[in-house]
Structure 1
Amino acid sequence: MEKLVAKGAEADLYIVDWNGLKAMKKVRIPKKYRHPELDHQMRKTQTNHEADIIHRAKFNGVPTPLLYQVDNENAIIVMEYIDGVKIRDLVDQLTDEERVRLFKRIGFYAGRLHKSGIIHGDLTTSNIIRSCDRIVFID
């Protein structure tokens, strides 16, 4: 099973079966305008960097997907599938009190990212999922 769920400027996302588990596969897209060797090296480095950041965030108590496989050579990361709703799609359905509670939690975890030396650079409500009663930073 491999189902394309999103095409981005940098990567395509697929829902896949990974050893019997539902997972997300992120495949960094080659850029035709770059020299092939440079492109390969850049995608390899970006993949390794992203995996390292996810690992460091989790180590510092920030909820992130589990990493199942990192393939630097092919610029692929396979990670836990998080079943839930993006905060962007949820926020208008919440009461003011629920919104305050939710964004305090997000701020708490953003603080943990910063204390561990991680600057997200694109922290938006599209990059966080609420799954059951937990929030997970997905990008």
Structure 2
Amino acid sequence: MSDLVKMEGITDLTKIGAELISQGAEAKTFKLNYFGMECIIKERFVKTYRHPTLDSKISNKRILQEIRSLNKCKKNGIDVPGLLFVDIVQTRIMMEFVNGITVKQFLYNNCENNYQNTQTPEIIRICREIGQQVCKIHDLNLIHGDLTTSNILLRTSTNNSTVFIDFGLSYTSTLAEDKAVDLYVLERAFISTHPNSESLFNEILQSYKDSSKNSPSVINRLDQVRLRGRKKLAFG
């Protein structure tokens, strides 16, 4: 642990060999071989348009919520990257590097003819596993907040089992409305990123329905969320 603590004073991770692999609206993600261990470091960056005190409070709140969400999922059998180290001051989370590809890339690689031929056993298995795992997350009263096919990995070492990542926008809620919106975000991700893949999301939704006695209220609310979404698209 003493070696990990030394990272607290490092402001530029590239100076210790970290490779920037992605940058989103909230954070940068680095890959690092740290003392022989491959890991991922997620670093939230300062939002200059916000007051520094407010920005610090928001960043700290979100990083703590992400840690809680990852721990809660891990304790309840949902595969997420293992936590290795947290630096609240630098707003960094060091976690396990998952060897695999995103569901997005897997579908790009394996769905031919513009997603018309998607009914392969492996694709159906993955979709049903996604539905089951999302339902387990929701049964913990966790809302992921950014469910997309880019935020679900397939772990190579366990025959493409699903791993959920990027809980940076996650929060706790018991409301069926919030869980339905989470599903709606995933549905919109399929529609926009994987055209003609409605049958795949239907497999996810059916698996979600089959996985919990709490699912009917969420599915009923999803229909209302969809209606609001269509109205928004129609009228702006």
Q: TM-score, normalised by structure 1?
A: 0.94
Report the alpha carbon displacement of residue 4 of structure 1 after superposing the two structures with TM. Answer: 0.5
Matched, 1:124 2:152: no
2: CA distance, partners of 1:71 / 1:55: 16
Asked whether the 8 Å contact 1:48–1:70 carries over to 2, the reply is no
In structure 2, what is the equivalent of residue 25 of structure 1?
Answer: 41
3-state SS in 2 of match to 1:32: coil
Matched, 1:8 2:32: no
Q: Looking at both structures, which has the greater relative contact order when contacts are Cα pairs under 8 Å and sequence separation is at least 6? A: 1
Q: Structure 1: any 5+ residue segments left out of the alignment? A: none
In structure 1, what is the equivalent of residue 208 of structure 2?
Answer: none
3-state SS in 2 of match to 1:62: coil
In structure 1, what is the equivalent of residue 139 of structure 2?
Answer: 115
User: Match for 2:132: what amino acid?
Assistant: F
In structure 2, what is the equivalent of residue 138 of structure 1?
Answer: 165
Query: Deviations 1:9-42 (Å, cap 9, x if unpaired)?
Result: 1000000123421100000010001111111121
2: CA distance, partners of 1:117 / 1:77: 23
Question: Could you say which structure has the higher strand fraction?
Answer: 1
In structure 2, what is the equivalent of residue 83 of structure 1?
Answer: 99
Quick check: which has more Rg, 1 or 2?
2
In structure 2, what is the equivalent of residue 59 of structure 1?
Answer: 75
1: CA distance, partners of 2:61 / 2:36: 29
In structure 1, what is the equivalent of residue 57 of structure 2?
Answer: 41
3-state SS in 2 of match to 1:130: strand
3-state SS in 2 of match to 1:122: coil
1: CA distance, partners of 2:75 / 2:47: 32
Query: Deviations 1:36-82 (Å, cap 9, x if unpaired)?
Result: 11111211111111111111111111100000011112110000011
User: Match for 2:151: what amino acid?
Assistant: N
3-state SS in 2 of match to 1:58: helix
Question: Could you say which structure has the higher helix fraction?
Answer: 2
Compute the RMSD of aligned alpha carbons: 1.3
The 4+ residue runs of structure 1 with deviation greater than 3 A are none
2: CA distance, partners of 1:78 / 1:109: 23
1: CA distance, partners of 2:106 / 2:21: 19
1: CA distance, partners of 2:144 / 2:132: 14
2: CA distance, partners of 1:4 / 1:91: 25
1: CA distance, partners of 2:122 / 2:35: 37
Report the alpha carbon displacement of residue 104 of structure 1 after superposing the two structures with TM. Answer: 0.6
